[in-house]
C-alpha cells in the first residue's frame, strides 16, 4: 500500500490487513532514482507481515531504466522511469 503518510499514523485495524507499506509523502526535490516503486528518499518500505521477506531486496536494488505504456481506448497508463 502506498500511503503518502507515515505508517505510525495509520489506523491499527487497517495495518492488520496489510503485508507491505511504502510510507511517506513523495518529495519531488528529493527524488529516489535507485529503489523500485519508491519516489523519494524519505519513503520507507515496511514489511508488516513478513510475506515478502524473501523478496524485499527487489525494492532496494538499483532499478532498471524502462517505461511500460498501456494504451487503452481513451487513455494510457505508464509505469517505470527512463531517468
pTM of the model: 0.64
- 31-67 burial, b at 16+ Cβ within 10 Å, e below that, comes to ebeebbebbbeebebbeeeeeeeeeeeebeeebeeee
Query: What is the pLDDT at residue 6?
Result: 82
Q: How far from each other are the two terminal CA atoms of the chain, in whole angstroms?
A: 24
Quick one: how many helices (H) and strands (E) in the chain?
A: 2, 4
42-75: pLDDT as tens digits? 999 999 999 988 988 888 777 666 777 889 999 9
Give 79 or 73, the one with higher predicted confidence: 73
pLDDT band (50, 70, 90) for residue 82: low
Structure-block grid coordinates of residue 64: 532498471
**Cβ atoms of residues 42 and 27 within 8 Å:** yes
Amino acid at each position: 500500500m502506498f500511503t503518502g503518510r507515515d505508517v505510525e499514523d495509520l489506523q491499527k485495524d487497517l495495518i492488520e490487513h496489510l503485508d507491505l507499506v511504502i510510507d511517506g509523502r513523495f518529495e519531488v526535490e528529493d527524488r529516489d532514482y535507485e529503489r523500485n516503486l519508491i519516489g523519494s528518499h524519505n519513503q520507507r518500505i515496511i514489511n508488516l507481515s513478513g510475506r515478502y521477506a524473501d523478496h524485499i531486496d527487489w525494492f532496494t536494488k538499483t532499478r532498471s531504466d524502462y517505461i511500460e505504456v498501456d494504451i487503452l481506448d481513451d487513455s494510457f497508463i505508464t509505469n517505470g522511469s527512463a531517468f
